Structure 1
Amino acid sequence: MGVFGAALVFLVGCGSRTVGTATGVEATGAAAEGGATGGAVAAPAWTLSAPIRIDGVRTTDGGRSLVVGAEVPDGPVDVDCVRDLRGALDTVEHGTVYVSVTYESRSQDREAGCTGTRRVEAKVDLGEPLGSRRVMVNSWNVYTPAGATPPALRPCDENGCDPTPPRCTPSSYRQAVDDTDIPKHTNWDERGCDETWLVLDLSTRMGPACGDAGDGCASGSITQRWFYRAEPSGWQAVAMNGEAGCTGIREVLPELPEHLCASLPRLGRG
């Protein structure tokens, strides 16, 4: 990581430093404490801060610049909660572009009303096309062009920046489940797999959490059958069907091999 990235982590982790007051001049001595001025209280200091959250990175200018979306403090229209938003290139090392996004804020001034949030964008000039390199923002959030739809970059998640190649293995199935729009803690049963196609039955528990048998609590599960196609970024969900055999699914996916659907049982509620 670059020098600035390390400094920013230290800054955020150990408390923001004072940059100045709302007038740009630091209050000092008794005036700052309200002693010599008859009890006057200095305006809350502007402090250097990092965004509350990074919520997207995309390329622009033919890949020579980045636009970083960020969540920052916000308040009433007549109150300045954020100033001097900056995006900067830190360094480039080992195939990763390190950038920083900072701003000055009086977000600790609760009385001023800086209690909300808003989305802003900071531009970072790279000087050359990003290419296939990854982007790390503020030494924490990592994005990659691999498997993304330009100009957006793809956030690296628990599966890392490099998706597991679509294979007929448990780890590859897990990634397929994680990338499917279903509730967490869903179980799967593999119903068929080859180098191009994958069939999974995904079961999600429904109803109350029951205790001992016989307590009168009824719960069950809902099972859905998903069909996936192998893509460079991993298994991609392309269809759902709960009918027995190839009924229905071959109308949607005529290229699906018959041996992957011929023996499929009809799904019912568990």
Structure 2
Amino acid sequence: MRVLIDPRRPASPGGRVAAADLVGLYAPPARRRWVRSNMVTTLDGSATGADGRSGSVNTPADHRVFAVLRDHADAVLVGAGTVRDEGYTRVRPTRGSPVPAALVAVTRSGRVPEGLRTPTEGRGAGLLVTCASAGDAALARARSVLGEESVLVCGDAEVDLADALDRLAERGLRHVLLEGGPSLLGTALAAGVVDEMALTLAPVVVGGGDFPRIVGGPPLAAPDGVALRPHLLLEESGTMLGLWRVRS
């Protein structure tokens, strides 16, 4: 894998890095809370392949970086729809991180996606983040499935992501990896809670069809959007992988 941009290492572009170096390159800052999103997109801007799943446009380099990002995460934050569509289950431990990240599903309805019902043995915690408008009946059902402490009610009519992230941090889940989908990422960017975006540009095009982009929802901070600066850029076999930090 080649390094194209790394402000921390002013070596000449094109320097090679081994797989073991990725751990340091992707290490989050040591601070109270750090929220990093991770998405993949094709060259023509699609967040999924023709089958409607992001996994069909992943590459070997992307898989390696994905594993490193998971190793650094205390919690994986995902929209409940993405948990269902992408077949998420609770996170298994890895060699890089023997303590598995918690899987945190976000839903306004309060419905518990099947992926959170995975048996807990040998896997990370399963948490549900929802809001008061889900209603007492839905909240009671969620608590009966996951347990009282595993259902976080954050916000009234909509999920308050800032509150949710504060409450996760109080539990020691400070480094949060937001894995989508596009709607949740758009909401998080609009709320100003994303510190950094990890993005893989897959060397493929999918052509026609109404494929999603990596960020959904209404325009962000019109007219200029959310400004970011490049922090890291790597390349392997045509796959581009990078980190962009949100400008404060």
TM-score computed with the length of structure 2 as normaliser: 0.22
Structure holding more helix per residue: 2
Which is richer in strand? 1
User: Relative contact order: is structure 1 or structure 2 higher (C-alpha 8 Å, sep ≥ 6)?
Assistant: 2
TM-score normalised per structure 1: 0.20
